[in-house]
Amino acid sequence: MLKYTLVFLFFSSQVICTLYKRDFTSRNYYTLRTSSPKDIDHIQPILSDFNARFEGQVGELTSYYWISVPKESDHLISHLNTLVKRSIPDVDIRPQVPSKRVVKRALSLDKQEMHLRLQETKNALHIADPGFDKQWHLINTLELGRDLNVSGVWKQGITGKGSVVAILDDGLDFEHEDLQNNYYAEGSYDFNDHVLEPRPRLNDDVHGTRCAGEIAAAKNDVCGIGVAYDAKVAGIRILSGDITEADEAAALNYKYQENQIYSCSWGPPDLGEVVEGPQGIILDAIKNGIEHGRHGKGSIFVFASGNGGYHDDNCNFDGYTNSIYTVTVGAIDILGNHPPYAEKCAAQFLYTTDIHSGQCSDNHGGTSAAAPLAAGVFALVLSIRPDLSWRDLQHLCVQSAVPISLQDEDWQTLPSGRMFNHKYGYGMLDAYRIVELAKSFQSVGPQVHLEVSSANREALHIPDITAKPSRENALRTTLQVTREMAASLSRTEHVTVTVTIEHDRRGDLEILLVSPNNITSQLATPRKYDYSKDGLVNWTFMSVKHWDEDPVGIWSLLVIDERNPESRGRLVQWKLTIWGESKKEQRIATQSFLMQTFESMRVDKQRTLVHSVILASVALVIAGSAIFIKKYKLYHRKSYSQSSNGDVFELDNLLECPVVSEDEYDEE
């Protein structure tokens, strides 16, 4: 690496530094602002103590300086900022993330290059589909980098072969030329009419076929091409009429050894007034798919986040999308922006297959269109790594996502070094990045969780702060996670918060969770059409914003009511659950204990056969009882009432005590 030593003269102060070439792959960069260049002399020794590197002045701005830290040390930045401010209060440290800035000047060149890229891809892969040029989600010729980045995956011969995606929707036109060769009849069924073929029968039964086309439309001379154009798609028809809870549950588990991924572009009404999630048998089916689907690796459930943005809706009021068992997908528009109808997620229009022979559609969008695209990308991943578990795939999503629209003020750099935004999550799904990461990804260990509750505390009055709208005046209550509580946890994944709140107008409330590292998750936002007086009864919110964060310390829950002074309420209780990966030494100890136990059962070989049989029978009965009791306790430990009117059903966590349990279904 080339280094240049420069001397900067600032009045009477002298600053000597070494300039390094920017290395955004291994280092994170920040600007340090100070009111006086003389402060740098005091700051530099502190920087070295935190493994940070001083990299000189920012251009001609004499109050701004570059500093950088290795990515593995980025979690120390918050401590560094605190320490520096103690000696120099007006110092400010802010992250710097590279992004494309010269757009107008390079626009015509970019468009030309993108059209060349489009043509090169068509030639290299012999793509003759007439609609391919319009599929901007595959190659975006208008806005560079705002697509799935999938062509590089195809060029490696990774096209989804061997993967099966089930479309739970309104049917599938399996005789369409773009789908007939990729149709998987064995995984298909019509739960509306209870026949084997999920054929569209109503005039508006078009949605499922379009979703299937996004995933697996064939590479031919008809319409467009699917993200995983050699994957198989099954049709499971459930949306073309009334359906029982039992049928919905059966649909979610239908042929779950063969169907790997379930694409679900549906959910409760997006009207900004509903708090609803899967109950009873439906929730049991989702958990069953996680425990037993794909021969124990877990079914992959992909849900659209919803299109209720105009109604101030939020996908954390939807128990399907805020489950830890599901991957929730929003969307972006062609420019990479967050449309106003999107629920803290997004939506987009696509060119994909429509029903009827040879017919195509360019009128398919919303988050309904985003979820199948993600399902298609996951099909590419599973085609090369079918051994990955449902949690492995979620880790890959977090690690491979690409932050976009960085001018949005909600982006926050996390202790993990990643960035998060409540509109965009961790960023845009990138097919090439996630496939490359998947090739060498080491599967995560079993899942554990710890739980801390405010049970037995008195209910807390929620102050109305309409007159003085400030978070400082809001209700704040805390729970503590100690190092001993988290002893079995290797790293954090999902964090869930279960609340019971009484309130005269539920839509007035905003609910925030603040971690010990001062990372804030917006769990609930005010909803102008939610006039319900039912409050929230054991409703579970979920956040993935705290992924890989150290959970030890004080967690704060803020309940903010600043909309209507006539509506009052109180927080009855709340519970914090932290989900994550178990520590390796705990897994080794458990395995060692089991081996010693079984070995001890074989020690005394002098006993009679009858005596041995009797002992074995007793041992099996006790072991069976222990397993039953453990599952029963886990089941109820993770059972949260998810309906706003108090109807009880189990939401095993929702995406996203001191009780720690290891979820046995994650072990191979």
Centroid of chain to Cα 1: 37
SS (H, E, C) 240-258: CCCCCHHHHHHHHCCCCCC
**DSSP H helical segments within 316-420, as ranges?**
367-384, 390-400
- How many beta carbons lie within 10 A of that of residue 386, not counting itself? 13
Token readout for 44 is 């530099």
Place of tokens 């599929």: 135
Token readout for 416 is 């993990």
Could you give the C-alpha distances from 42 to 10, 85, 437, 541, in angstroms and in order?
15, 11, 42, 45
- How many beta carbons lie within 10 A of that of residue 298, not counting itself? 23
Distance CA(306)–CA(329), nearest Å, equals 9
Stated as kind and residue range, the H or E segment containing 352 is: strand 350-353
Distance CA(121)–CA(245), nearest Å, equals 46
**338 part of the active site:** no
The backbone torsions φ and ψ at residue 155, rounded to the nearest 5 degrees and listed phi first, read -65, -15
Among candidate residues 151, 299, 368, 416, the one labeled active-site is 368
Could you give the C-alpha distances from 268 to 46, 167, 326, 412, in angstroms and in order?
53, 18, 15, 30
Sort 584 into a burial class: Cβ within 10 Å, 0-12 / 13-18 / 19+: exposed
The backbone torsions φ and ψ at residue 478, rounded to the nearest 5 degrees and listed phi first, read -130, 155
Cβ(548)–Cβ(494) under 8 Å?
no
Positive or negative CA dihedral for 420, 421, 426, 432? negative
**305 part of the active site:** no
Cβ(84)–Cβ(46) under 8 Å?
yes
Going by C-beta distance under 8 Å and a sequence separation of 6 or more, which residues neighbour residue 98? 22, 24
Positive or negative CA dihedral for 8, 14, 18, 22? negative
Identify the three-state secondary structure at position 398.
helix
Token readout for 597 is 């136990």
Token readout for 213 is 């086309």
Cβ(316)–Cβ(105) under 8 Å?
no
Place of tokens 């009334």: 242
The backbone torsions φ and ψ at residue 471, rounded to the nearest 5 degrees and listed phi first, read -65, -25
Going by C-beta distance under 8 Å and a sequence separation of 6 or more, which residues neighbour residue 375? 165, 215, 261, 263, 300, 302
Stated as kind and residue range, the H or E segment containing 360 is: strand 360-364
Cβ(87)–Cβ(42) under 8 Å?
yes
**636 part of the active site:** no
Identify the three-state secondary structure at position 648.
coil
Among candidate residues 39, 178, 190, 207, the one labeled active-site is 207
Among candidate residues 39, 129, 169, 205, the one labeled active-site is 169
Sheet arrangement for strand 509-514: 475-481, 553-561, 509-514, 520-524
Token readout for 583 is 């520590």
Any idea which residues carry the catalytic annotation? 169, 207, 368
